[in-house]
Chain A
Amino acid sequence: MTGPRQQDSKFRERVKSMKRLTSLVAALLIMSLFLAACSGGATPETPPTGLEEGPKKDTIVERAVADQQTFDPFGTADINDQRIHYQIFDSLMRQEPDGSLVPALCTDYKFNETGDEITFTIREGVKFHNGDVMTADDVVFSLNTAIASGFTSKVTSTMDRAEKVDDKTVKLILKYPFAPILGCLVSSSCAIVPQKVYEADKDAFGRNPVGAGPYMLKEVKPGEKIVLEAFSDYYRGEAPIKNLVVRIIVDDAAALMALESGELDLMQPSQAYTDRDAIINNPNLVYYEAEQACTFLVAFNNVKGVFTDKRLREAVARAIDREELILGAVNGMATPVEAGLVPITPQYPHGFKGLEYDLEKAKQLVIDAGYPNGLDVTMRVIAAANYTKPAEVLQAQLKKIGINVKIEPMERGTWFDVAYAGGDYEMTFYAHAISVNDADFCSYPFLHSSEADGKGNNYMGIKNAELDECLEKARTSQDEAERKAYYLRACEIIRDESLFVPCYTGRRTMAAVKELKGVQADPWMRYYKYNYSW
Chain B
Amino acid sequence: MTLVKTLFASSALATLASGVAMADPALIYDLGGKFDKSFNEAAYNGAKRWTEETGGSYKELEMQSEAQREQALRRLAETGANPIVMTGFAFSDVLTKIAPDYPDTKFAIIDMVVDQPNVQSVVFTEEQGSYLAGVMAGVKSETDVVGFIGGMDIPLIHKFECGYAQGFKSIKPEGKVLINYTGTTPAAWNDPVKGSELAKAQKSQGADVIYAAAGGTGIGVLQAAADEGILSVGVDSNQNHLHPGQVLTSMVKRVDNAVYDAFLAGTDLEPGVKVMDLAAGGVGVAIDDNNQALITPDVQAALDDAAAKIQSGEIEVHDYMADSSCPVQ
A and B assemble together: no
Interface residues of B (CB under 8 A from A): none
